[in-house]
Amino acid sequence: MLRSTILILLVLLTAASGALGQAHRQSLMELQTAPQDTIDAQNLRIWLPLERQNRCWLKIEIVNDSNRVIRHLVSRMMVHGYYNYYWNKRDDSGKLVDSGVYTYRVTDCGQILEGKLTVQYREWEKKVIAEVEKQRSREWLLLTLLDDSARVTIEMFDYHWRPVDVPIEDSLMNTGKYRFEWKPADTVLAGRYHLRLTVGDYTHDLKLTYRKKR
């Protein structure tokens, strides 16, 4: 169900393409945030127990089965500590890689550590492109669907993950590009919110800033 009184939906008249490379690189916070999918959180986790006392330049690369580096994940000075990093299954161009087993290669203080990561996808995961776009004080979700008959739900949560709104619930949508601008009730405060997008069996979380119109 689409609740048009609190959400603007514009279907953009441009054909959906396979341009999956539009996704941005992972920030440090994103690298250290576990995926919501518990299987991905386990399969894509790189655990680094850095027990040396000196500071060193640390490098993490993702290598395919042809021993070619497809992703330069981390390159920064690191102090000792215990760290978790999570790969988002994208190469350096931003494209989703093929399913399969990949090697992560960690270079730290001249030492090399390797491990395995497993990439697998849900049915709708490679058929969805979702990103937040900004223009001045406004932000909206730009959603591209690469297949028909998508069951779409959008939920809004506050900073502490308390439910705020469900502007779209189990709405059937077809191939195309859609722009969603959240228009909540007047009682909703301005601020930073979590947006949870569910398309079929795939769930993706983003952050959206809501500003009241003056």
Mean pLDDT, residues 128-148 = 93
Q: What is the pTM of this model?
A: 0.76
pLDDT tier, 23 (very low <50, low <70, confident <90, very high otherwise): very low
Domain with CATH 2.60.40.3080 in the chain: 7-19+123-210
- Lowest mean pLDDT across 35-39, 42-46, 118-122: 35-39
Whole-number average pLDDT of the chain: 88
Q: Is the pLDDT confidence value at 25 over 80?
A: no
Sheet of strand 69-78, all strands in order from the earlier edge strand to the far edge: 69-78, 56-63, 100-108, 111-119
What is the reported pLDDT for 18? 40
Q: Is the pLDDT confidence value at 118 over 60?
A: yes
Mean pLDDT, residues 84-106 = 95
More confident residue, 6 or 1: 1
3-state helix/strand/coil string of the chain: CECCCCEEEEEECCCCCCCHHHCCCCCHHHHCCCCCCHHHHHHCEEEEEECCCCCEEEEEEEECCCCCEEEEEEEEEECCEEEEEECCCECCCCCECCCEEEEEEEEECCEEEEEEEEECCCCCHHHEEEEEEEECCEEEEEEEECCCCEEEEEEEECCCCCEEEEEEEEEEECCEEEEEEECCCCCCCCEEEEEEEEECCEEEEEEEEECCCC
Domain with CATH 2.60.40.4070 in the chain: 38-119
Q: Is the pLDDT confidence value at 8 over 50?
A: no
- Lowest mean pLDDT across 3-7, 60-64, 161-165: 3-7
Q: Is the pLDDT confidence value at 20 over 60?
A: no
7-19+123-210 CATH: 2.60.40.3080
- Give the CATH fold of the 38-119 domain: Immunoglobulin-like (2.60.40)
